[in-house]
């Protein structure tokens, strides 16, 4: 398509909005109509063959669905809502997208511009509220601004370090007429999404890696966002570097890859955490040294020279002092450094992970996935059986809590873009709507959502969206009748005072069936394999409710604020 679409007579601002969305490659919009966005929805009625609109049941669900769509498709997710409460209901999803670098454009209706500042019905200062949690927030008051603002929004949301953008769309701008001219935004003065490679940085990083005896890479979602999975593989292979992965970076390589040593952080694997404080060169790639990964910064990797690859300059040195910054797009900088690396062999260093893997398997994993006879079903056991039944090819979507950590730990990945979870914000209720978007972003893949009984009920109304769209999403509810992660902390750190974490739950299968969704509940181990097979073979959406150990714990665990090597195994 040409970057410029010339005048073709006056059209409404609403039509200009839809034409620009299509020009930007949008094919799916998640939304909920209301008074101040009716003109845009009226125009959308005539564009249904070019833009698929998914009617969610709550505006928060629209943002999370758009996030899930973005995470599996690699495109910008789009949400469309009305003013006032419609806009404010998106705040959690916008903040979540900012924390997890998810490209998102949220379009909110707004009262006519002459009424701005009058406290008109359903008027709210959307720009003022969202500026701190967006890459850009802009109010469209004139139809002449639409094509420019929308293209700019998509450029900002998708370039550099991705993130959310909000467009507040005044009603009179929706109704007004404009000579429509679209020109794709490819440059914004003072905005440098992909910095030029700095040769001195590349040389300094390569020199440290070439001199290393015990190099260790920390891989984050930035590798996936830049599409640098192959470049990462070439880098690790040439220098023979073992790697640990953040929660959002987990599927950057297959789980079975020989240099993949598992997950970092509070509930990560023993080896990656211990080796962080034993390596001589620590190489962070597209990750931000989150506190759940580093633990106590005063004891974090003090023995190591630290290299940090990142596209966001503000992240380099923010939490951890860096010896060799590498500013730029990982897809480019990894290649540049790899070209200067000497082929290496670190067999003894890589083999030193084995003792930690053996200890973790014997003390934690074996008990979780192969529990003793008579014990109730365990969360990890369920996750592992589901992933193996899919051939480890499915997309994992999680809610937040113990279900999330067990999902991340025990699911296995063979393809990139296979993890959809709320990382930085930790949003309960994220899972169900995100699974909707994940399926629509990757319709040919099996999507397995793991949710707890608490988080599921925060957005359970989105079962209606699944029903209406006839989406084949597999929902596994790990029902322990607790807010499990909070209960775990209460048990470990608050003298087992379970303050308001027990839950009386409804008949989840009955609710699913009311929405036309198949389902089954399981309590006995001998029923689990058959139930999983039934779920995966079922035509359409299915809810499998598994009654698991009520006092199950997620181990290993590094207590908050402790050294990353202070690992509790139970």
Yes or no: say if 394 and 435 are a contact pair by the CB < 8 Å rule: no
Q: Identify whether 490 is a catalytic site residue.
A: no
Residue 178 DSSP class: E
Tokens of 389: 């039944």
End-to-end CA distance of the chain, in Å?
58
- Phi and psi based region of residue 506 (left: phi greater than 0; alpha: psi -120 to 50; beta: remaining): beta
Catalytic residue among 1, 7, 10, 121: 121
- DSSP 3-state assignment of 383? helix
SS3 content of the chain, % helix, strand, coil (to 5): 45, 20, 40
Q: Is the bond leading into 203 cis (omega within 30 degrees of zero)? A: no
Give, for 327, the enclosing helix (H) or strand (E): strand 324-327
Residues ≥6 apart with Cβ < 8 Å to 275? 214, 216, 242, 244, 261, 352, 353, 356
Rounded to whole angstroms, how far apart are CA atoms 249 and 258? 16
Residue 399, CA distances (Å) to 126, 279, 355, 411, 425 in order: 27, 33, 32, 14, 12
Q: By C-alpha distance, which of 15, 21, 83 is closest to 52? A: 21
Q: Identify whether 485 is a catalytic site residue.
A: yes
Q: Identify whether 245 is a catalytic site residue.
A: no
Q: By C-alpha distance, which of 201, 263, 278 is closest to 563? A: 278
Q: Is the bond leading into 556 cis (omega within 30 degrees of zero)? A: yes
Sequence-ordered strand ranges (E) for 191-257: 215-219, 243-245
As to burial, measured by CB atoms within 10 angstroms (0-12 exposed, 13-18 middle, 19+ buried), residue 46 is exposed
Q: Indicate if the alpha-carbon torsion angle 85, 86, 89, 92 is positive or negative.
A: negative
Q: How far is CA 518 from the centre of its chain?
A: 27
* Cα atoms in the Cβ-side hemisphere of radius 13 Å centred on 51: 27
Yes or no: say if 205 and 324 are a contact pair by the CB < 8 Å rule: yes
- The count of other CB atoms within 10 Å of the CB of residue 556 is 21
Q: Identify whether 503 is a catalytic site residue.
A: no
Catalytic residue among 15, 59, 332, 462: 59
Yes or no: say if 390 and 536 are a contact pair by the CB < 8 Å rule: yes
Q: By C-alpha distance, which of 218, 207, 306 is closest to 262? A: 218
Residue 278 DSSP class: T
Catalytic residue among 19, 171, 261, 385: 171
Rounded to whole angstroms, how far apart are CA atoms 30 and 53? 6
Residue 28, CA distances (Å) to 143, 149, 217, 367 in order: 23, 19, 37, 44
Q: By C-alpha distance, which of 256, 527, 244, 556 is closest to 413? A: 256
Yes or no: say if 495 and 507 are a contact pair by the CB < 8 Å rule: no
Tokens of 282: 């620590």
Catalytic residue among 122, 142, 415, 491: 122
Q: Identify whether 493 is a catalytic site residue.
A: no
- Residues with a catalytic annotation lie at 59, 121-122, 171, 485
């Amino acid at each position: 398509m040409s970057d410029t679409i010339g005048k073709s007579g006056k059209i409404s601002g609403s039509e200009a909005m839809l034409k620009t969305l299509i020009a930007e490659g949008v094919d799916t919009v998640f939304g909920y109509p209301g008074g101040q966005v009716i003109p845009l929805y009226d125009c959308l009625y005539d564009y249904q063959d070019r833009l698929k609109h998914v009617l969610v049941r709550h505006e928060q669900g629209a943002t999370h669905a758009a996030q899930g769509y973005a995470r599996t498709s690699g495109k910008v997710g789009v949400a469309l809502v009305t003013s006032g409460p419609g806009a404010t209901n998106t705040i959690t999803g916008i903040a979540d997208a900012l924390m997890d670098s998810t490209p998102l454009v949220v379009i909110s209706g707004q009262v006519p511009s002459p009424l701005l500042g009058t406290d008109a019905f359903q008027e709210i200062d959307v720009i003022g509220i969202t500026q701190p949690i967006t890459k850009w927030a802009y109010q469209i008051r004139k139809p002449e601004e639409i094509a420019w603002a929308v293209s700019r929004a998509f450029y900002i949301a998708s370039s550099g370090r991705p993130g959310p953008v909000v467009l507040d769309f005044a009603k009179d701008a929706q109704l007004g007429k404009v000579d429509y001219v679209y020109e794709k935004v490819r440059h914004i003065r003072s905005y440098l999404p992909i910095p030029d490679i700095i040769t001195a940085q590349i040389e300094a990083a390569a020199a440290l890696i070439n001199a290393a005896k015990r190099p260790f890479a920390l891989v984050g979602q930035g590798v996936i966002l830049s599409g640098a999975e192959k470049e990462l593989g070439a880098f690790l292979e040439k220098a023979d570097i073992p790697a640990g992965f953040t929660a959002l970076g987990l599927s950057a390589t297959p789980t079975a890859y020989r240099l993949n040593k598992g997950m970092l952080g509070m509930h990560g694997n023993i080896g990656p955490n211990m080796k962080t404080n034993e390596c001589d060169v620590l190489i962070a790639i597209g990750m931000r040294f989150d506190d759940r990964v580093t633990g106590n910064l005063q004891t974090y990797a003090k023995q190591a020279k630290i290299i940090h690859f990142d596209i966001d300059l503000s992240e380099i040195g923010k939490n951890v002092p860096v010896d060799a910054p590498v500013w730029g797009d990982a897809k480019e900088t990894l290649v540049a450094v790899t070209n200067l690396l000497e082929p290496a062999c670190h067999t003894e260093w890589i083999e030193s992970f084995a003792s930690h893997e053996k200890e973790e398997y014997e003390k934690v994993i074996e008990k979780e996935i192969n529990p003793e006879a008579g014990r109730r079903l365990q969360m990890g056991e369920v996750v592992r059986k589901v992933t193996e039944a899919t051939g480890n090819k499915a997309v994992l979507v999680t809610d937040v809590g113990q279900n999330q950590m067990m999902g991340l730990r025990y699911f296995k990945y063979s393809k990139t873009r296979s993890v959809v979870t709320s990382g930085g914000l930790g949003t309960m209720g994220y899972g169900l709507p995100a699974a909707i978007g994940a399926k629509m972003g990757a319709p040919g893949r099996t999507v397995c959502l793991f949710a707890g009984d608490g988080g599921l009920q925060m957005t359970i109304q989105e079962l209606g969206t699944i029903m209406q769209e006839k989406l084949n999403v597999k929902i596994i509810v790990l029902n322990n009748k607790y807010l499990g992660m909070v209960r775990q902390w209460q048990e470990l750190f608050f003298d087992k005072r379970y303050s308001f974490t027990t839950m009386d739950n409804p008949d989840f299968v009955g609710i699913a069936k009311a929405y036309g969704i198949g389902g089954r509940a399981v309590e006995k181990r001998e029923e689990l394999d058959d139930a999983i097979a039934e779920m995966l073979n079922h035509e359409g959406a299915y809810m499998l409710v598994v009654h698991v150990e009520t006092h199950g714990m997620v181990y290993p665990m590094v207590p908050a604020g402790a050294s990353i090597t202070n690992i509790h195994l139970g």
